[in-house]
Structure 1
Amino acid sequence: MRLEVLSPLHIGNGNRLTPVDIYPSEDRVYVLDVEKLFNDLQKLGVDIEEILTLLKSPPGEHYVWKGYIEEYSLNPSDYALYSLPVFGEPGKTSMQINEFIKSSGRPYIPGSSIKGAIRTAVFYKALKDCGDSGTAMNLVANFSPNLAREIGYSESLIDYYVDYLNRETAEKRKFDDRRADDLLEAIVFGMEGSKVHYEPKRDPMRALIIRDSPAIGRKHLAVYRVEAVGNPSPIPVWVEALQPGTEIEVELSFDEELLRVNSSYFNGLLWECLKDRGKPWEVFEDFVWEAVKEFYNSIVEHELRSLSKFGSRRESVRSFYGSIKGKEKILRLGWGSGWISTTIGLLLVERGGKWEHVRRKLGLGRNPSGRGFSKDFPKTRRLAEGKPMGWVVLK
């Protein structure tokens, strides 16, 4: 399949370029070969101790090399490991740039990022279509009769889950919200043990195989200034991101034989969903793509209903979402995708006040000042060049 980037896409590697690493011009950023520049400045007679002092204690608000390059009329491209165009105003005195993930210096898209986006859609659809309390109760009864009974008192698995979170956050002084969806994940994808924990070997999503993309030409990469719309005191963020229009081959396959041979081993809600449609190994691929279309178009519709949150960028966001609405196989990847796009949040917000109570206990939507919570969650949206980040389409 081919993957096309529809809006700026940033998948980070955890590294950050600082003013020590870069030289900014009006429309480009040069990532410097610092060792080469250092050696040439020595040859030009610059005091080595002066340079070392700057490197050991760089002035936090200034580009370390800018003064030297301009004073000695050096061409920054002669010292660049690479350079990228900049969209949005670069920092006047300083900026830090979150790097894109690379292999041997060239960007690529991890297969895990694509699979994670698809998995979220499947999670959503399995709960939405098959998450009645009766089905979930019957599945869980083999492992934990007490848990099955508790689920049976609720209208749906999602309703039980919200009640479960409410209980857990009340009873445990330090509830680990990073593990908040562990129980739900186990019931949907595959479970083991009397405490019902997730077991990857019982997960039908094993049959979806996605390889890392080949290396992508650096010409498709740019630096974007990212706006946090809705934040009254936004801190500028710059990222390396793939530009819209970038296309890359992606190796994606479905292993029907794995599902058929291991059919007696799968035991989650997703497997029940597939069985309702026929032979699971025959219907799995269609179910996955239906889930992708349904989930991500629901995200688009949700964002179109929330245009007021985009302020002055409302019309550019409306235009973008209008251009992708109804498309099949659209996904949202990477940093800046937001809570709604990376969780089953669409199902949770339908629970109204009950969910609002729980999300505050989980600390979601806490005001930056640390006082109180935003009534409107999620409040902020990240935009690059007026576009919501991370949208791609598989073709």
Structure 2
Amino acid sequence: MTENNIRLTYHCDVELLTPVHIGSGDRYVEHFDFSYNTQARRLTVFDRNKLLEQVAGSGETGIQAFTRAIEEETLEDWLGRKPDGIDIDAARIHNFACEKKPRDILVQLRTGTSDALLAGSSLKGAFRTAVLAKLSHEENRRSVEGLKQELMRQQRVNQKTADSRISKNLLGPDAQKNLMRCLSVGDCTFPADTIKPQTVIIYRMVTPKKMDKKHFDIVLEKISEGNKGDCQISFDTYLGTKGKDYLGGRTALTLDWILDAARRKTQKTIATELDFFNGVSGNYTQMLKTFYEHLEDKIRDIKENEVILQLAWGSGWNGMTGELLEKRDLTQDLRKKLSLADKYPSFPFPKSRRFALINGQAIPMGWVKLSFTDKEEKKRLEAEQRATAINNAKKQKTLDDAKREREKQWNAMDETEQDIAVVQQTDLALEQAPQKGPLKDVWPKLENAEPDIRKKLAQVFIGQWERTPDLWRKKECSNSQWEKVERVVEISGIDHPDIQRLDADDQQLVDKIHSLSDFGQYSNSDVDINQLSLAASECLNSKFIAWGCNNKNAKENKRQAFKNLQNALKKLRKS
């Protein structure tokens, strides 16, 4: 705790006991933000900005293909074809198993740097509900009883403003004189990788004594259970004590008062849920009952400076002002006035619950533990943070110095040395020239380089390929790769187990066939199919195929020449 003239400030540690969802108000949309593979039953969510950035860089053809996929709702098929310029892994946020395709996905609130945000307003909202409940208890529920009578007299009831009378009576008539002005709660952030997808089951009553899940689930982003963060909470001591008359003579908000209110609220929620689940059956009923029994045990062991409470999405009716109404208050007439499942008068209200299903266990959403530290503890934490910041600064300086040294080392290399490093995929090349690739940027230089440089580059490619069979051996690598292998072997002059060395005359004939550009040049040459070696025949065979001599629609002379060559090849391969 720190203290100044008008505020008391506490450090608050936040531990997520169950998943928490703070909605941003946005939703991921199918065929744009996410795709669903029906066969694999997997759902992939993309970073909209990263995906669009990649599409924009893929050229006009790529943009048109992407636009067509969006319009035709075939994004999954388009991505499955691995279009050029699209790195699915880089654009992917989530990829997870999902039994049914959701209509949309609720987006978790984030900071500008994509960290998960548990907004201070969400924590303050949970405190507000607890404060209202305690104030109502202290005045013997006079405001609640007055509200019930007023609602029954009204012809039409606006559900959104029905509780305004209670709020004004207990907290203050307007924003300026509202008791909650005394309380300020800071935001709590969690690392971006704590945001995970979660399927939430809607579990509702189907008979007065039985519950079952709805046919559809809700998919959302959660801040994962077990994570920890921190924030600050402060109290305006001037408004809370000296300004008490200005606030209408109501209580002064202090940390102890707030903690007591929150504990009362939690105890009532647990008691309400246990009472509810004791009266109904269903597949998940016992799991949920067990959860609240364990939670009841847990709150008995918390320290004086700690509190467990439920907040945000998933807390439902009991997490809002509606919690002020007791079970006995919800008569059939009042439920009809407020449209509270009035078509099911034999069902208790609320008649449904939402929970996450994690490793086969039903887990209610939004339960957190808050721990408030005193002044000395806060000083210790700040000292640790300062030491960590100094240590991180030293480490960063070391990293920056090392980076500058590597940049200097890279810039001192000539073009050929850099090309060799790119082919060898050295750490230096990957850091300084991540955009360069061996085949994309270095291979095209092979033909135009000076002979000594060409030989150096060929030897480097050989060194990278010869340890990998599917890049080096003829039977295991692709046709295009094998052509590259033949070329580097030719340039370097080394022996290759799959390449026959030709004598001078045979090599001259192969070179001659290589130089032929079309079937007409072949027809006018003195190349005799029946006099060719195996190497020369195979070279000519590649040419014939390139010229379409093996096509059914080829001219008769082409087809006959191709047939004659095949017969010759059979004899040569047998000999």
TM-score bracket relative to the smaller structure: 0.7 to 0.9
Instruction: Give the aligned partner of residue 519 of structure 2.
Output: none
- Identity of paired residues, percent? 23
- Classify the secondary structure of the residue corresponding to 2:201: strand
- Classify the secondary structure of the residue corresponding to 1:103: coil
Give runs of aligned pairs for residues 58-207 of structure 1, distance below 5 A.
58-59=72-73, 64-72=74-82, 76-80=88-92, 83-84=93-94, 86=96, 89-90=97-98, 92-93=100-101, 95-104=103-112, 105-131=114-140, 156-168=142-154, 170=155, 172=156, 175-190=157-172, 198-207=173-182
Change beyond 3 A, Cα 1:65–1:348? same
Of 340-349 and 223-232, more deviation after overlay is shown by 340-349
Distance apart, 1:379 and its partner CA: 0.8
Amino acid at match of 1:18: V
Amino acid at match of 1:316: M
Of 8-17 and 21-30, more deviation after overlay is shown by 21-30
- Classify the secondary structure of the residue corresponding to 1:199: coil
Change beyond 3 A, Cα 1:319–1:37? farther
- Classify the secondary structure of the residue corresponding to 1:253: strand
Distance apart, 1:114 and its partner CA: 0.3
Distance apart, 1:18 and its partner CA: 1.3
Please point out which of 22, 47, 51 is paired with 1:34: 51
* RMSD (Å), alpha carbons: 2.7
Amino acid at match of 1:298: K
Whole-angstrom CA distance in 2 between matches of 1:267 and 1:7: 38
Instruction: Give the aligned partner of residue 54 of structure 1.
Output: 69
Change beyond 3 A, Cα 1:94–1:363? closer
Change beyond 3 A, Cα 1:265–1:288? same
Instruction: Give the aligned partner of residue 197 of structure 2.
Output: 223
* 8 Å contact from structure 1 (residues 229, 311) kept in 2: no
Match status 1:212 vs 2:151: no
Whole-angstrom CA distance in 2 between matches of 1:257 and 1:39: 56
Change beyond 3 A, Cα 1:380–1:77? same
* 8 Å contact from structure 1 (residues 336, 390) kept in 2: yes
- TM-score (structure 2 length as normaliser): 0.53
Of 374-383 and 120-129, more deviation after overlay is shown by 374-383
Kindly provide the CA deviation profile for residues 327-375 of structure 1, in whole angstroms up to 9, marking residues without a partner as x. 251121111211012224353323253xx311222112256xxxx6663
Structure 1 unaligned residues grouped into runs of 5+: 133-155, 191-197, 275-279
Distance apart, 1:383 and its partner CA: 0.5
Distance apart, 1:122 and its partner CA: 1.0
Distance apart, 1:101 and its partner CA: 0.8
Which structure has more RCO (C-alpha within 8 Å, separation ≥ 6)?
A: 1
* 8 Å contact from structure 1 (residues 224, 238) kept in 2: yes
* 8 Å contact from structure 1 (residues 223, 238) kept in 2: yes
* 8 Å contact from structure 1 (residues 123, 344) kept in 2: no
Whole-angstrom CA distance in 2 between matches of 1:259 and 1:311: 48
Change beyond 3 A, Cα 1:221–1:361? same
Whole-angstrom CA distance in 2 between matches of 1:84 and 1:14: 19
* 8 Å contact from structure 2 (residues 102, 219) kept in 1: no
Amino acid at match of 1:377: F
Change beyond 3 A, Cα 1:188–1:319? same
Instruction: Give the aligned partner of residue 294 of structure 1.
Output: 264
- TM-score (structure 1 length as normaliser): 0.76
Whole-angstrom CA distance in 2 between matches of 1:85 and 1:125: 44
Question: What is the number of residues matched between the two proteins?
Answer: 332
Of 336-345 and 97-106, more deviation after overlay is shown by 336-345
Match status 1:321 vs 2:292: yes
* 8 Å contact from structure 1 (residues 360, 366) kept in 2: yes
Kindly provide the CA deviation profile for residues 126-150 of structure 1, in whole angstroms up to 9, marking residues without a partner as x. 1112236xxxxxxxxxxxxxxxxxx
Instruction: Give the aligned partner of residue 381 of structure 1.
Output: 353
Structure with the higher fraction of residues in helix conformation: 2
* 8 Å contact from structure 2 (residues 182, 236) kept in 1: yes
* 8 Å contact from structure 2 (residues 26, 106) kept in 1: yes
Distance apart, 1:267 and its partner CA: 1.5
Whole-angstrom CA distance in 2 between matches of 1:344 and 1:125: 14
Amino acid at match of 1:31: F
Whole-angstrom CA distance in 2 between matches of 1:310 and 1:382: 16
Instruction: Give the aligned partner of residue 563 of structure 2.
Output: none
Amino acid at match of 2:170: V
* 8 Å contact from structure 2 (residues 163, 321) kept in 1: no
Match status 1:16 vs 2:27: yes
Instruction: Give the aligned partner of residue 341 of structure 1.
Output: 319
* 8 Å contact from structure 1 (residues 124, 344) kept in 2: no
Distance apart, 1:376 and its partner CA: 2.3
Moved over 4 A (4+): 23-28, 39-43, 91-95
Amino acid at match of 2:46: V
Change beyond 3 A, Cα 1:41–1:67? farther
Kindly provide the CA deviation profile for residues 269-325 of structure 1, in whole angstroms up to 9, marking residues without a partner as x. xx1xx3xxxxx46xx332211110011111011111222557211232223222321
Structure 2 unaligned residues grouped into runs of 5+: 1-11, 207-213, 300-305, 372-575
Whole-angstrom CA distance in 2 between matches of 1:366 and 1:29: 40
- Classify the secondary structure of the residue corresponding to 2:219: strand
